[in-house]
Chains A and B, each alone.
Chain A
Amino acid sequence: MSRVAAIGIDAGSTTCKLVAVDQDGTIISSLLEPTEPRVELQVQRMLDAIRAEHGANSSVRTIATGYGRKLIKDATRNLTEITCHARGVFRDLGCAGTLIDIGGQDSKVIQIGGDGRPVDFMMNDKCAAGTGRFLEYTAARLGVPVPELGARALSTAQEEPISSTCTVFAESEIISLIARGAEPDSILRGLHRSLVGRVVSMVRNVGIVAPLMLSGGVAKNEAVREMIAEATVEDVILPGEPQLMGAYGAALLGI
C-alpha cells in the first residue's frame, strides 16, 4: 500500500511544485519545475510521475494552490496560497508568527495564529515591485544570474539608491546608473533595498508578531534576508525548503 496520504500542488507563476506527504505529514517526495505555459498539462505530468513513483492512485487527496490552482482537474479541493503557506510554515517551524512570502508574481505578509491558520494578511498584488520578478527583471539587465544576486549585493558596502518603485522605470534607472559608471554590485544592493522597503512597509501594516519567517523562492536570497532583519530589527527564520511551503501546506490540508 502506498505511503502517500495526500499530495499538495502549488501552481505558481514562476515555478510549479508538488509535495507528497505521509499520514504524519512528513514529506516523502517533492518536485519543482519552472512553470510552463500550459500549467494544467504540466501538473498532470508531474502528478503522474509522483503517483507512479510511490504507487499512489488517483483517489489520494490532492489539494491545489497557486495562481493556476483552478485549472487542476485532479484536485480534490483548491485553496489560496495564504492558507497553504501559513499551514506549511507553521508545521515546518512549529510556531505562530509573521510570515513574509515573496513569490514570483506577488508578495504576502501573513500573521499566523496559534493553530496554524492565517489571522490577518496583506498582499502586494498590483505590480511587480516587491516581488521576485522585480529582482529577476532588473538583474537580467545587469547580466547577473538569479542565484548569485544576494551574494553580489552583499559583496559591497557601496549602495546606489533606486528611486523608482516601478519595475520598468527601475530598469531605465539602472541603464542610467551603468552609463554613469556605477558598479553593478552597488546597483544590485540598491535594488535589494528597494524591494525590501516595499515588503517591510507591508509587514508594518499588518504588524509584526515575532518570529519573522520567510518563504518563497526569494527567501533563498541572503541579501533579502539580511536587509529585512536589519529594517525590522527582528531575526528572520526560514523553513527547510522555503519554496515548497505552499505545496507542503496544501498537502497537509489534504490529510
Chain B
Amino acid sequence: MSEAATLSLPSRLEVVDHVRSLGRALVAVMPIHYPRAMLRAHQLHPMEIWGPPHVERHEGSRHFQAYTCDIVVKAMSFIRSGGLDATKAILVPHTCDALQGMGSVLGDFLQPDQRVLTLYLPRGRRSSDHEFLRRELGRLARTLVEVSGHEPCRDDWDEAFEAEDAADAALADLYRRRARLAISDRDFYTVVRSREYLTAEQFCDQAAALPEGEAPQRGVGLMISGIVAEPALFDQIEAMGAYVAGDDLACGFRRVYSASAEADPLERAANRLLTSPADPTCGTPIQVRVDTLQTRMRALGARGLLIYDPKFCEPELFDVPLLRKHLNAAGFPVLHVEFEMGDRLPYQTLSRIEAFVETLS
C-alpha cells in the first residue's frame, strides 16, 4: 500500500465557493464528453456527476429499468434528494441510451428546478458528424445564454478556450509524464479526476505541483479499460503486486483532447470533441480500438487488459467479446469484471483480479 497521499486538493464545496466568487454559476454535467470552454464563456462552471458515493439507489431506480447502470440511477437519486440544488442546469450528453433516457425523464416528466440541457453527440468522425455536432453545439450555446443570461463576446470565448485548452494540455502532459511521477496510481487518478470539478486554473496548478522522481509502480503492468475506476481499486491492484501502466477509461485517457486553432467558437469546440481518443460511446470501430489498445499496451509495458465496468454499461459491453478475441490473439490476456458503484469491492471480484495478475506474473 502507498504512503499517505501528499495531495492537497480543494474540496468540491471549496470549488463551489471559489467559482461563485468569480461570478460563475454551476452546471451539473453527466459523463462523458461536453464543451467545457463553451460553459466557461457563458460564465458557467461544470461539476461532473459520475455516480456520487454515499447515495442510495432506490430514489433513482424508481424511474428506470432494473438494468440501468449506477451512474444514471445514483445521479437521479442525487438530483431527487436535492444534491444538485446549488446548480442552475443539468447537462446530459447523449453518451448512451441510459443517459439519453435520463435526459428525457428529467426534461419531460420530472422537470426539476434546474434547466435540463441535452447534447446529442455524433457516433463517428465523418464530415457529416462534424456538421451535426457543430449544429448541436450551436443549439446548446443558445440555451446557455438563456440559462446564464450572458451572451459571450469574442474576448469571453478566447479567454475560455485559452484556459480550457491549457487544462486539456496539462492532462495530456500528466499522461506523458506518468512514468516519471513519484506518486501512486491512486494519487495519479485522483488528480486526473479532479478535472471533473476543479477550474481549469486549479487543475493546471495541481498537475504542475506533482513531484517528479522514481515512480512507485512495481510488478505487473495492467491496462485498465472502462468508464470509471474507484480509488479503492488502485490500492487493491497495488497490494496484488501490480500497477496501472495505462488506462482506457472514460474518466481518464479517453478525455485527452487536442486543441483546435479555429476562429469560430463552435467550430473550435466541435474540433476538440472530435479529437478524443478511441471510445466505444463515440462509435469508434472495434478494429481501431483494438489497434490503439495494442499499440499503447506495448508502449507502456502493460501485460494484460482489465476491463472494469459498472454493471449494465451497454456501450462497453458490446465491445468486450471482440476486444477479448482480438487482444488474446495478439498475446494480451483480457479480464472483464463488473462492479456496483460505491459498494465495497466483493471478495470474489478481487479474487478474480488477483488471479488475473497471477496469470500475468
Contacts and interface: CB of A to CB of B under 8 A. Distances in A.
B331 to A, nearest CB: 11
Nearest to A80: B355
Determine which residue in A79, A106, A120 has the highest number of CB atoms from chain B within 10 A of its CB, and name it: A120
Given A118-B359, A121-B359, A80 B348 contact: no
B347 A67 contact: yes
Contacts of B346: 125
A106 B351 CA distance: 11
Interface string B35-75: 00000000000000000000000000000000000000000
Given A80-B354, A120-B333, A106 B348 contact: yes
Interface in B321-361: 328, 333, 346-349, 351-352, 354-355, 358-359
A119 interface: yes
B222 to A, nearest CB: 16
A220 interface: no
Interface in B200-257: none
A79 B352 contact: no
Contacts of B351: 67, 80-81, 123, 125
A152 interface: no
B358 A82 contact: yes
Contact of A117 (B347, B349, B359): B359
By size class, the interface of chain B is: 10 to 19
B359 A82 contact: yes
A81 B359 CA distance: 12
B348 A121 contact: no
Contacts of B348: 106, 123, 125-126
A117 B351 CA distance: 16
A67 B333 CA distance: 24
Contact of A82 (B328, B333, B355): B355
A151 B346 CA distance: 36
A81 B352 CA distance: 10
Q: Majority SS of interface residues in chain B?
A: helix
Interface in A42-74: 67
Interface string A134-173: 0000000000000000000000000000000000000000
B350 to A, nearest CB: 9
Nearest to A79: B358
Contact of B358 (A80, A106, A126): A80
B352 A123 contact: yes
Given A67-B347, A120-B333, A83 B352 contact: no
Interface in B251-302: none
A83 B347 contact: no
Contact of A119 (B352, B354, B359): B359
Contacts of B349: 125
A83 B333 contact: no
A121 B328 CA distance: 13
B340 to A, nearest CB: 11
Contacts of B358: 79-80, 82-83, 118
A81 B349 CA distance: 13
Nearest to B338: A126
Contacts of A80: 351, 354-355, 358
B353 to A, nearest CB: 9
A118 B355 contact: yes
Contacts of A82: 355, 358-359
B114 to A, nearest CB: 37
Contacts of A118: 355, 358-359
A83 B354 CA distance: 10
B356 to A, nearest CB: 8
Contacts of B352: 123, 125
Determine which residue in A80, A81, A126 has the highest number of CB atoms from chain B within 10 A of its CB, and name it: A80
Interface string A13-46: 0000000000000000000000000000000000
A35 to B, nearest CB: 15
Contacts of B359: 82-83, 117-121
A103 B352 CA distance: 15
Contacts of A106: 348
Contacts of A83: 355, 358-359
Nearest to B336: A122
Nearest to B347: A67
A134 B61 CA distance: 30
A121 B304 CA distance: 14
23 contacts: A67-B347, A79-B358, A80-B351, A80-B354, A80-B355, A80-B358, A82-B358, A82-B359, A83-B355, A83-B359, A106-B348, A117-B359, A120-B328, A120-B333, A120-B359, A121-B355, A121-B359, A123-B348, A123-B351, A125-B346, A125-B348, A125-B351, A125-B352
For the complex of A and B, 10 pairs with smallest distance between CB atoms: A125-B348, A82-B355, A80-B355, A83-B358, A118-B359, A80-B354, A80-B351, A123-B352, A80-B358, A79-B358
Interface of A: 67, 79-83, 106, 117-121, 123, 125-126
Given A118-B355, A118-B359, A123-B348, 15 more contacts: A67-B347, A80-B354, A80-B358, A81-B351, A81-B355, A82-B358, A83-B355, A119-B359, A120-B328, A120-B359, A123-B352, A125-B346, A125-B348, A125-B349, A125-B352
Interface of B: 328, 333, 346-349, 351-352, 354-355, 358-359
